[in-house]
Amino acid sequence: MAITAVIFDAFGTTLPIGTPIHPYRRLLREGARHGRRHTPGDLHKLMAIDAELREAVGILGIQVTPSRMAEIESDLQREIESIEVFQDACDAIALLHERGIATAVCSNLVAPYEPAVKKLLPDLNAYALSCELGFTKSDPAIYRTVCYDIGVVPGHLFGNSPQVALIRGSSRCDRDGCRTIGIKGFHLDRSGAGAFGNFMKFAKLVAEQFARELG
């Protein structure tokens, strides 16, 4: 069966951050300075709640001075404003849509970044964002949700279901969850070391396969 839908990550795959400042990591370090111990689940919790920066401070119980809070908020705004779109991602999405292949973004992110993602990628068929759904990758639930929203049923390559592909910048984050429900994963390595060094090369392969299937 040909691939009929393509899911991809946001940051690193389609959206580069021009000025990476990591304001939420700075926030957690600020909490550590005031005696709050950082836990591995902190970032996961932040990405699974629909909360702005000041709300996150209260949820995590972090003590921040007003002046430092203003600095971190400024850092956050600067980082969001620096988000761009890879040109090959724009071209790839346009090609996939032209061939009738659905597209969706599936990403772990904190709530303040959500408007930027949707603004910069406005024409997708679905958006599965952890801060809106309440669970993160690589929970299989996030992949089931995005497939439902696209209107396709994931299935293994030997099945009769519509085929769903996921192109990822990280070989680790998306690997297990998408495989569990039968989504075929591909690794996008922008360093050029892998099979796909840019999004357009992958999209052309998918589009050609889809055209052959239609005859």
Structure tokens at 17: 């951050």
pTM flag (> 0.85) = yes
The Cα 111–Cα 104 span in angstroms is: 18
Residue at which a domain ends, from 54, 81, 108: 81
User: Do 156 and 57 belong to one domain?
Assistant: no
Claim to verify: residue 199 and residue 151 sit in the same structural domain: yes
- Same structural domain, 161 and 120: yes
pLDDT of residue 177: 66
Which residue, 81, 101, 126, sits at the end of a domain?
A: 81
Bridge partners (DSSP) of residue 17 are: 83
Q: Are residues 96 and 150 in the same domain?
A: yes
Annotate 37-48 with DSSP letters as a single string. Answer: PP-THHHHHHHT
Domain count, the chain: 2
Contact 112, 96 (CB under 8 A): no
pLDDT at 195: 83
Are residue 173 and residue 111 in the same domain, yes or no?
Answer: yes
More confident: 80 or 162: 80
Given pLDDT bands bounded at 50, 70 and 90, which one contains residue 187? confident
Supply the DSSP string of 118-143, one letter for each residue: HHHSTT-SEEEEHHHHS--TT-HHHH
- Is residue 117 located within the same domain as residue 168? yes
Structural domain range at position 201: 3-16+84-214
What's the first-to-final CA gap in the chain, in angstroms? Answer: 12
Q: Is residue 158 pLDDT above 50, yes or no?
A: no
* Pick from 99-103, 129-133, 137-141, 171-175: least confident: 171-175
Mark whether 62 and 142 lie in a shared domain. Answer: no
Q: Are 76 and 68 in contact (CB under 8 A)?
A: no
